[in-house]
Amino acid sequence: MPDLLEIKKLVKKYKDVVAVDDISFSIRNGICFGLLGPNGAGKTTTIEVIEDIIPPTSGEILYKGRPRASSFKQEVGIQFQQTALLSSLTLRETLKTFQSLYNDPADIEEIIDICNLRDIEKRMNDKISGGQRQRLMLALAMINKPELLFLDEPSTGLDPQARRNLWNIVQKIKEKGNTIVLTTHYMEEAQRLCDEIAIMDNGKIIAQGTPLQLIKEHCEGVTVILPKNSVRIPLKELPFSFREINGRIEIRTNDINSCLNRLLSEHIDLTEMIVRSPNLENVFLNLTGKQLRD
């Protein structure tokens, strides 16, 4: 069985600017695939080409093993960052309006429950919060029962609680068997939701794999964090790679036991010590040298 989506040697140019530079990847059925990159990396252009919103300069995009047919846009769901909503409609009325556009739409009651909209279904569109609006946008993207769902930075601008509520909904959608393509600015979001990730920079894919594979391949060891005032000896006497930042000492080590034994032998107070394993943010910084929001 072919991958649900295959991208082969995709290029998108704007005059002399190469926004997407000969990239290839595939997305298996039933996974959440994350596309990450700093601003200007080419990820938004890539997604818009795959969604058939803008044409590629060259390359091939296959859906279920075949070139996308004219029905592709009817078969996928797209959650845009901004969608105009009629303020004179309630959430339920909005869902019914969008439902009428499709021959075989999803059941509204099921969508309302999945997206946690039951308590606000009769509320007017202009009376909902940012988190509620994003849940409605997600519901609208699912109204045509898509097998493939595109989520473009769905939690941008949400407070931490609303963001986690949205993550729980996306997790439920994954459990139903939908394939999801996610772009995000949040490393925690990608690490929690994505089964596979591609990292883009300067129009190219520079790394791809599961979160665990990327961490193992591009980050080594752990970081031991100590308050600077707990280290009473000259730092250069410690046989570790370290840096000073915001009143703390961060020590990188591949052998945590040897590191701790050495620190104890120097009578360094470990009461406030933090040991931090590498994560996707470390991978991203190591590969691009940039914060994700640069």
Residue 211 and residue 79: Cα distance in Å, rounded? 24
In order of 81, 130, 153, 161, the CA distances from 157 in angstroms are 10, 8, 9, 12
Residue 56 included in any domain:
yes
Decide if 135 contacts 169 (C-beta within 8 A): yes
User: How do 196-201 and 32-36 pair as beta strands?
Assistant: parallel
Q: pLDDT by residue (tens digit) across 11-23?
A: 999 998 999 999 9
Q: 100 and 227 share a domain?
A: no
* Count of domains observed in the chain: 2
> Residue 73 maps to which CATH number?
3.40.50.300
Q: 87 and 64 share a domain?
A: yes
Residue 67 included in any domain:
yes
The CB density around residue 124, as the number of other CB atoms within 10 Å, is: 16
CA-wise closest residue to 138 among 150, 128, 125, 121: 150
Over 70: is that where the pLDDT of 104 sits?
Answer: yes
Q: 88 and 61 share a domain?
A: yes
Q: 179 and 244 share a domain?
A: no
Q: 174 and 252 share a domain?
A: no
**46 or 266, which is more confident:** 46
User: How do 5-14 and 17-27 pair as beta strands?
Assistant: antiparallel
Q: 136 and 187 share a domain?
A: yes
Residue 286 included in any domain:
no
Here the tokens at position 58 are 């060259």
Residue 282 included in any domain:
no
Domain that holds residue 91: 5-216
Residue 88 included in any domain:
yes
Provide CB contacts within 8 A for 21, sequence distance 6+.
Answer: 11, 42, 202, 203, 204
DSSP codes joined into one string, 19-39: EEEEEEEEE-TT-EEEEE--T
Residue 285 included in any domain:
no
**240 or 63, which is more confident:** 63
Question: Which of 199, 216, 233 represents a domain boundary (last residue)?
Answer: 216
Residue 61 included in any domain:
yes
Q: 212 and 224 share a domain?
A: no
Beta bridge partners of 198: 35, 208
Average pLDDT score over residue span 85-111: 93
Q: In the prediction, which pLDDT does 136 show?
A: 94
- Of the pLDDT bands very low, low, confident and very high (cuts 50, 70, 90), residue 84 is confident
In order of 19, 130, 145, 167, the CA distances from 81 in angstroms are 20, 11, 20, 16
Amino acid (one-letter) located at 68: R
Contacts made by residues 14-19, CB under 8 angstroms, sequence distance 24+? 18/203, 19/45, 19/203
DSSP codes joined into one string, 59-117: EEEEETTEE--TTHHHHEEEE-S-----TTSBHHHHHHHHHTT-SSPPPHHHHHHHTT-
Q: In the prediction, which pLDDT does 107 show?
A: 94
- Of the pLDDT bands very low, low, confident and very high (cuts 50, 70, 90), residue 291 is low
Provide the whole-model pTM.
0.83
User: 91-95, 104-108, 246-250: lowest mean pLDDT where?
Assistant: 246-250
Residue 294 included in any domain:
no
Give the H/E segment covering residue 174.
helix 160-175
Over 50: is that where the pLDDT of 294 sits?
Answer: no
